[in-house]
Amino acid sequence: MKYQAYNRHNFTEIPQMKNFSELFRKEILISSKVLPFKTNNYVTDFLIDWSKVPEDPMFLLNFPQKDMLQPAHFSEAAGMVEGRYSEEQSAEILKKIYSELNPHPAAQQHNVPVLEGKKLNGMQHKYRETVLFFPRQGQTCHAYCTFCFRWPQFTGISHLKFRTDEATLLASYIRKNPSVTDVLFTGGDPMVMHASILRGYIEALLEANIPHLQTIRIGTKALAYWPFRFLTDPDSNELLHLFERIIKHGINLAIMAHFSHPTELKTPQVAEAIRNIRSTGAQIRTQSPVLKHINDDPKTWAEMWRLQVNHNCIPYYMFIARDTGAQHYFSIPLVKAWEIFRKAYQSVSGVCRTVRGPSMSCIPGKVQVLGVSEVVTNGKKEKLIVMRMLQGRNPDWVARPFFAEYHPDAIWIDQLKPAFGEKKFFFEDELEQMFKEDLSESSLVNFE
């Protein structure tokens, strides 16, 4: 299949959209003024069930909807589409809307590493073992998710972008930091890069022969949105050979595949693409946020994990929708996310229970909601939310249970209060200290 991208400029060429009302189409175009919009012919022809639109989850994953914007933002966007503002005014309004959508959740801009006094702007180093690398040519995707927290990278606000082409700096940084065992190529989607460009980055790492580098991970949604990447693209074979080369070098290669719905795992194309990747010796680990309107029930998750295991993939993370972009549309309470996780987890066998979650990627780390529990204090029953960190800015925070007052509607950690009348969670003083010491530089990530 030949890749055909659709966005707001060639929207009218999507054949299936022609059957819908003018108003419905216009609302999508207005919403796409703010939310990134891009889909492709595999998604429209193989994944979306058009008889179920507008409720179809695959449709909602790619086509921005009116309800995904706050009403005020939607009317401002409508004003732009209807030509009520000058170009300059539109740019100003858009900038304002973006700033109101929390474009940098979890203080990502504070994770930029430093090498010999120089900031490495295309990287993030938040957790001791793993460096995130944002290759310059990988800052787009085969299709955009309407929930995406990386959307500032697609909006053209350049100072919000992470990108670099400094592969040798990456290798030097890892060499100098023996605690780094993992490099995670991320984006956007690094799999949009031509194999020869990815090869350049990978070769720089392999040639550096860094003894402590154990795992190269590649975060990608290509298996879900464009499995032809591993089948029939002109450089598919070159890409698969590159994977083989990493394995032969003695480095573990983990494809971190994003799957948000069972539909994405049901086409013959995705099955074959997974087989091709697995035959190189690479592992595939899977992850997704839990999202209202898309996958907010246990059956969907249990089915997803089973299909993944059937395809020889390893379920890895269930995330909670981040506090950015269209969160109000997709978010569900933490307690509900845990209930979905628990029911799904209970209904699958142990081979699926490699998955961890539901987890919030927030400033202190990855916080897992372990569940709701009850204690008796001073003869009074008290309901609690139990959490722990799966990852922490300080590794010592990991795997310590901590407690918040029960709050059935909270959708993010900042809405939770420590239990037992405590003023702060156990990590907060130390976290504040890290940020105080280093609001402009990066020592808070070099806490060894």
Ligand X SMILES: *Cc1c(COP(=O)(O)O)cnc(C)c1O
104-128 per-residue burial string, b: 16 or more CB within 10 A, e: under 16: ebbebebbbbbbeeeebbbbbbbbb
Say if residues 68 and 112 touch (Cβ distance below 8 Å): no
The interface mask with ligand SF4, positions 183-222, x = CB under 6 A, is ----xxx-------------------------------x-
Taking the least distance from each CB to ligand X, the nearer of 181 and 347 is 181
Taking the least distance from each CB to ligand X, the nearer of 263 and 361 is 361
Taking the least distance from each CB to ligand SF4, the nearer of 122 and 392 is 122
Taking the least distance from each CB to ligand X, the nearer of 90 and 361 is 361
Structure tokens at 363: 């400033």
**What, of ligand SF4, ligand X, none, does residue 132 touch, CB below 5 to 8 Å by kind?**
ligand X
Tell me which of 145, 213, 344, 445 binds ligand SF4, using CB under 6 A: 145
Burial (Cβ within 10 Å: 0-12, 13-18, ≥19) of residue 100:
exposed
**What, of ligand X, ligand SF4, none, does residue 28 touch, CB below 5 to 8 Å by kind?**
none
To the nearest whole angstrom, how small is the minimum distance from the Cβ of residue 399 to ligand X? 12
Using CA atoms, how far residue 169 sits from 116, 166, 176, 178, in Å, is 10, 5, 10, 15
CA 107, 165, 3, 243 torsion-angle sign: negative
Q: Does 324 bind ligand X (CB under 6 A)?
A: no
Using CA atoms, how far residue 89 sits from 78, 94, 145, 282, 448, in Å, is 13, 9, 27, 49, 47
For ligand X, the binding residues in 90-149 under the rule CB under 6 A are: 124, 126-127, 130, 132
d(CA 364, CA 75): 36
Taking the least distance from each CB to ligand X, the nearer of 30 and 180 is 180
Taking the least distance from each CB to ligand X, the nearer of 96 and 353 is 353
Tell me which of 177, 269, 391, 442 binds ligand X, using CB under 6 A: 391
To the nearest whole angstrom, how small is the minimum distance from the Cβ of residue 219 to ligand SF4? 8
d(CA 71, CA 337): 26
Say if residues 362 and 413 touch (Cβ distance below 8 Å): yes
What is the contact surface with ligand X in residues (CB under 6 A)?
Answer: 124, 126-127, 130, 132, 184, 361, 366, 390-391
What is the contact surface with ligand SF4 in residues (CB under 6 A)?
Answer: 141, 144-145, 148, 150, 187-189, 221, 258
